[in-house]
Structure 1
Amino acid sequence: MQEHHLETTVTGRYLVESPDGVGPLPLLAGFHGYGQTAEDELELLRNIPGSGKWIRLSIEALHPFINAKGQPGASWMTRRDRELRIAENVRYVDAVIAKVTAELPVDGRLVMHGYSQGAGMASRAALLGRHAVSAVMLLGGDIPPELGDLARMRAVHIGRGERDRLYSQKRFEADIIRLRQAGLDPAMTLFRGGHGPTGEYFEAAGRFLAEMEFV
């Protein structure tokens, strides 16, 4: 048996919300968790105080499926052909951001937000993609271990629920160490809750995002 790969074209999906006004405006790009959709991440972005001043962009993963409840969902990664999937995802995100910045009055500020599996995607897009970021916000997911040059993230907010069984305290602390070794001083939020965001998380994320208004 011989294994072959054929590159083809697939269609990605993303949602955009732009505030009233002529701009220019900052761009907040979000990446959802495993089995979620662009709508889920957009709702999360909406709940961050102050995000209404930003163009909110929610990018849906390229690998759709129907979950056990019969609802649509999508995944950023699979174990098979991992390096190919990473490269495809980064090119896809680069293309989406290029299209949005060409069509809307973006002022050059770009913050990426990733939840759960989307945290890894946000990290990869920031470090492997061609668009320079102002900051990266990570919730309930780790920075992929193979990534280097974390200083390119510039500023980081990293959050974890105290009872999160998927993103352990050990991995949370390891990510903080990696960021500090890269010369960054991450804003950390350890909030009461599990894997998903809470009001406490949103308040902290809002404070961090407000700081990015002056970058």
Structure 2
Amino acid sequence: MNTHWLEVPQQQRVDIVGVLTAETKELWFGLHGYGQLVQFFSYHFRDLANAHRAFVFPQGPHKFYLEGVHGRVGASWMTKEDRLVDIQNQRAYLDEVLRWATATAPYARLHFVGFSQGVATGMRYLGNGNYTPFSFLAWAGSWPPDLEPQSVEALKSIRFKGWFGSDDAFIGVEKQAQISTHYREEFGLELDWDRYEGGHTFDKVILAEAISQLER
């Protein structure tokens, strides 16, 4: 069997919370988690948009039924199947969304905020795409163990803050410590992270405070 990879034009969904204009000062690029859709993921941020702050939410290109063959639908950024091709496609997709968003809000400072699988997506993009954010807020994410050198260097140059839940069913307390240790020993990165009370979700109060602090 011969396998061929073809480049084809596609339409992908991007939701905006707030308004992108020349007056926008802070542009937040939100990357959702596995099995989420942007119309629901964006709910966490709808009270945070204002005249000078906007949020852009690209949706992962893989959609599927969350249970069986009907009912609720979710999206993901990649799977283990052809993962390297998926990662390349992610970068091209995110580059195009960022090109459009930054052209629409040309004077805005760029930030990333990721949740779960969106954290790994954003961290892999760093140093490989055409845009580098001022900051990255990483929520309940499994930091990728195979980070490329250019991504490591990019992480050293930005403001990074991570959070894990005290009762996260997917990334337990022991795993959280292992991730931090791996990044310190493997990449020389002492990334700032904290723990909040709760499971695999956002803490909206902490999120709002972190965004406000970074924008000062």
Do the two structures share a fold, i.e. TM-score over 0.5? yes
Give, in angstroms, the shift of residue 126 of structure 1: 2.6
- Aligned-pair RMSD on alpha carbons? 2.4
User: Which of the residues 176, 180, 191 maps onto 2:180?
Assistant: 176
* 1:141 alignment counterpart: 141
For residues 150 and 114 of structure 1, the distance between their equivalents in structure 2, rounded to whole angstroms, comes to 17
2:46 equivalent in structure 1: 46
2:166 equivalent to 1:165: no
Instruction: Report the equivalent of 2:105.
Output: 104
Classify the secondary structure of the residue corresponding to 1:28: strand
The alignment's TM-score, normalised by the length of structure 1, stands at 0.85
**Corresponding residue number in structure 2 for 1:6:** 6
| Aligned residue in 1 for 2:36 | 36
User: Which of 168, 188, 201 lines up with 1:196 in the alignment?
Assistant: 201
Match of 1:63 in 2: 62
**Contact 1:90–1:129 (8 Å) recurs in 2:** yes
Spell out, residue by residue over 1:116-154, the C-alpha distance to the aligned partner (whole angstroms, 9 max, x if none): 111111212233221011111111112211113434231
Q: Which residue of 2 aligns with 1:210?
A: 212
Q: Relative to structure 1, is the Cα distance of residues 75 and 20 closer, same or farther in structure 2, using a 3 angstrom cutoff? A: closer
Bigger shift: residues 85-94 or 68-77: 68-77
Task: Please give the per-residue CA displacement for 1:71-114, whole angstroms capped at 9, x wherever unaligned.
Answer: 2221101111110000101110110011011123442x211111
Deviation at 1:179, TM superposition (A): 5.9
| Identical-pair percentage | 24
Kindly tell me: are residues 179 and 38 of structure 1, through their superposed partners in 2, closer, same or farther at Cα, counting changes over 3 Å? Answer: farther
What is the deviation of 1:21?
8.0
* Distance change in 2, residues 1:18/1:46 (3 Å): closer
Equivalent-residue separation in structure 2 for 1:119 and 1:24 (angstroms): 24
1:78 to 2:79 alignment: yes
Q: Would the aligned equivalents of 2:110 and 2:134 in 1 still touch at CA under 8 Å? A: yes
- Report if aligned partners of 1:119, 1:143 keep a CA contact under 8 Å in 2: yes
Partner SS for 1:128? coil
Classify the secondary structure of the residue corresponding to 1:102.
helix
Deviations 1:33-62 (A, max 9, x none): 111111122112335xx5544211111001
Contact kept? 2:161, 2:191, Cα under 8 Å: no
Instruction: Give how far 1:183 is off.
Output: 5.2
For residue 126 of structure 1, what is the aligned residue in structure 2?
126
CA contact (8 A) 1:26 1:55 kept: yes
Quick check: 1:151–1:182 contact (8 Å CA) kept in 2? no
Q: Is the 8 A contact 2:24 2:53 kept in 1?
A: no
> Is residue 140–residue 159 contact of structure 1 (8 Å, CA) maintained in 2?
yes
Aligned residue for 1:29, secondary structure, equals: strand
User: Judging changes above 3 Å, is the alpha-carbon distance between structure 1 residues 208 and 150 closer, same or farther for their aligned structure 2 residues?
Assistant: farther
TM-score, normalised by the number of residues in structure 2: 0.84
Name stretches of at least 5 consecutive residues in structure 1 with no aligned partner: none
> Are the structure 2 counterparts of residues 179 and 101 from structure 1 closer, same or farther at C-alpha, using a change threshold of 3 Å?
farther
Deviation at 1:194, TM superposition (A): 1.1
Q: How much has 1:174 moved relative to structure 2?
A: 3.6
